[in-house]
Amino acid sequence: MNLLDHLRRMAGNNLWSNDRLYRAVLALKPGEFEAERTSFFPSIKATLNHVLAVDYLYLDFLEEGGVGAAAHDDFVPFEESEPLFAAQLVADRRLIAFCDGLSEVDLDRRVITDRREDGMIPEKIGDILAHVFLHDIHHRGQVHAMLSGTSVAPPQLDEFLLDYDLKLRKEEVERLGLGRQTSATS
């Protein structure tokens, strides 16, 4: 597997993990989504809104959309989990489409990132993608931990990449259209 294939699989994992996490979040009792909790952001709601706002920012950089820091700064947080989930799925599909359109050479191509007062900083696409995946995994872990203090058990999020685990995720992978993400079909 080359780096590009790995990043494509990580984009698929991002969709799959978010789908699993949000399905748990959608099952929360009233008040649990916005309830104050111990974490970097004070609630599941705030954390998931942050993930989406940052995804919008980096998607704009990667797609060279020209919105810049405003993609994050002008983000209006969602109050309810259902529309937030829908918006996250759209962003995840954009990220998959972006990765699918890349070549190996593109990973070293630089795009401009708007760092507000620090200026316009060129960054490599491969580095941005690695950063986005780490960022999202980090905050999904926080939501996963916060779910432990709710009426809903946190979902398993670490069984995506191995052939052995396919039996545990086959229906989800097919429903999400991620069949190409399995090494059995690669």
C-alpha–C-alpha distance, residues 120 and 128, integer Å: 14
Output the domain CATH number for residue 162.
Answer: 1.20.120.450
Let me know if residue 186 belongs to a domain: no
- 92 neighbors 18 (Cβ within 8 angstroms): yes
Residue-wise DSSP of 104-152: GGGGG-EEEEE-GGG-EEEEEHHHHHHHHHHHHHHHHHHHHHHHTTSSS
DSSP letter (8 states) at residue 14: H
- How does pLDDT run across 45-62, given as a tens digit for each residue? 999 999 999 999 999 999
Residue 88 within a domain? yes
Range of the domain at 157: 3-181
Whether the CB-CB separation of 147 and 44 falls below 8 Å is answered with: yes
Q: Model's pTM, two decimal places?
A: 0.93
List pLDDT tens digits, range 133-173: 999 999 999 999 999 999 999 999 987 778 888 888 888 98
Is 152 within the bounds of a domain? yes
Q: What is the pLDDT of residue 180?
A: 56
Position 121 in a domain: yes
Number of domains in the chain: 1
